Amino acid sequence: MNVEALIERLRRGFRPFVIRLTDGRAYAVPHPEFIAVSRRVVVVVDREGYPVHVDPLHIVSVDDKMARKDGRKRPRK
């Protein structure tokens, strides 16, 4: 993934999103404080509060985190 595109996404008004990796893992980013981005590494804080270092080459997609239509939170997996 182009790191500059990810940085631009964070700058233009934050909306929660999910980062999907080549090995199938996915990390939710509910707030800007849960992610740090540099040219060579992306650090995401996981659900347990631990940092996960991600090589940007392994990011397959960055998808908007969709809210449920009934307003309830999604159950945790």
Model pLDDT for residues 2-35, shown as the tens digit of each residue: 899 899 989 998 999 999 999 999 999 999 999 9
Separation of alpha carbons 38 and 52, rounded Å:
14
Q: Would you say the C-alpha torsion 70, 72, 73, 77 has a positive or negative sign? A: negative
Give the count of beta carbons closer than 10 Å to the beta carbon of residue 42.
Answer: 22
Band of the pLDDT at 36, cuts 50, 70, 90? very high
What the chain holds in terms of domains, given with CATH numbers, is 3-64 (2.30.30.100)
Band of the pLDDT at 1, cuts 50, 70, 90? confident
